[in-house]
Structure 1
Amino acid sequence: MKKLIAISSALALGLTVAACDGPKENAMEDAGEQNAEAVNEQAEAMEDAGTMTDEQADAVTDAAEDKADAMEEAGEAADNATGN
């Protein structure tokens, strides 16, 4: 439940900040978030099935979120390079 609240808060903050982002950053951020969400759902399903511990599921989700952040930063760098 705590993770759901944290994700919801992050998404709300992301929507607030999105208006200032360039098009490449927005696209990379969206793709990264979608991927992280899919990974999180898979990790939770594996945890529910007993094939993964809660700690492992959290680690996989954290890694996916880190990758999403890196994708967003790459998109921001691309926007800055093109002057957007």
Structure 2
Amino acid sequence: MKKVVLSLALVAMMFVSCKETQENAEAAGENMEAAAGEAVDATQEAMENTADAVEAAADSTAAAVEGAAVDAANAVEGAANDVKDAVK
């Protein structure tokens, strides 16, 4: 009888242990899923910020190049006028 009670106690302990292991595994899976979702969100936000920064840099570069081109054109026009005046 004692062996039967001990065997039943052992089976009950194993059942409880398996149940706890299953709950822990489910919790770990949920934590991994949440972490993956956060990683995806962070990556997407970083990509959007990078795209915005690249766009701003491109706009700034285009404005600087345009300004330099206008300045160069004005300098060439001024030099041409100086040459014209010198020839007269």
- Give TM-score scaled by structure 2 length: 0.36
Q: Which has the higher contact order (CA 8 A, sep 6+)?
A: 1
Higher helix share: 2
